Amino acid sequence: MAEHAKVVVIGGGVVGCSCLYHLAALGISDALLIERDELTSGSTWHAAGNLPTFSTSWSVLKLQKYSAALYRRLAASSDNPINYHLTGSVRLAHNRNRMDEFRHVQSMARANGLEYEILSPAELKARYPFIETHDLQGALWDPLDGDIDPSQLTQALARAARELGARVRRHTRVTALAQQPNGEWLVSTDKGDVVAETIVNAAGYRAGEVMAMVGRHLP
């Protein structure tokens, strides 16, 4: 008899584990993540782990602010050994248009509680003495920029999801997907079947293989 889950997440990288964690945090604890190998064994372990909050998009800036705060909270827990470096960063402006863009982003950031600073060349030199400033109009300082170990972050998200009741199944390969007449999905794996109301495709560079199971092309 097939196992049941409200949501099945396919893919155990940082996106899949983040999805599983946020589903569980929203109260959907009947969620199951299926990973064909080990967590982070696909796209995630290739990632550089950069964590800027800067964006010219209001929505992306809010998302990055939220993500950086979540990662700082996870990294602060003694349960999660995460290499997380909060370094800050400067972005350089070589012309007036770039400075105008920085002022626009600074206003969006401050509306979201992020204390960006516009630096003159002299202030930039004081902040980072090794920089050459002869062709610069100025710079933008992002105090919350940094980097994180993507694999350790993924494990922390998976741990948090498990603590909220979600399940993670490693070394399990999804072999077929079929939608049933009632709208639910039959997820076939090499270790048994699962029936789910919703499927999330978080398979990274294998996402196209998952889509091919339902006859769709994903570049």
pLDDT tens digit sequence for 162-217: 999 999 999 999 999 999 999 999 999 999 999 999 999 999 999 999 999 999 99
pLDDT of residue 85: 93
* 1/214 Cα distance (integer angstroms): 23
Whole-number pLDDT of residue 78: 81
Tokens of 106: 């600074």
Rg, C-alpha atoms of the chain: 21
Render pLDDT for 93-152 as a digit per residue (tens, 0 to 9). Answer: 999 999 999 999 999 999 999 999 999 999 999 999 999 999 999 999 999 999 999 999
Average per-residue pLDDT for the chain: 95
The mean pLDDT of 51-79, rounded to a whole number, is 93
In this predicted model, what pLDDT tens digit does every residue of 72-102 receive, in sequence order? 999 988 888 899 999 999 999 999 999 999 9
* Spatial distance between the Cα atoms of 41 and 59, rounded to a whole number of angstroms: 30
**Nearest to 4, CA basis, from 212, 175, 186:** 186
pLDDT at 2 over 80: no
Does 9 or 2 have the greater pLDDT score?
9
pLDDT of residue 12 exceeding 90, the answer is yes
CA distance 104 to 84: 29
Return the pLDDT at 1: 61
For residues 3-31, b (16+ Cβ closer than 10 Å) or e, as one string? bebebbbbbbbbbbbbbbbbbbeeebebb
Q: Which residues contact 34 (CB under 8 A, 6 or more apart)?
A: 8, 9, 10, 11, 12, 169, 172, 174, 187, 189, 194
| Residue 81, pLDDT score | 86
pLDDT of residue 219: 86
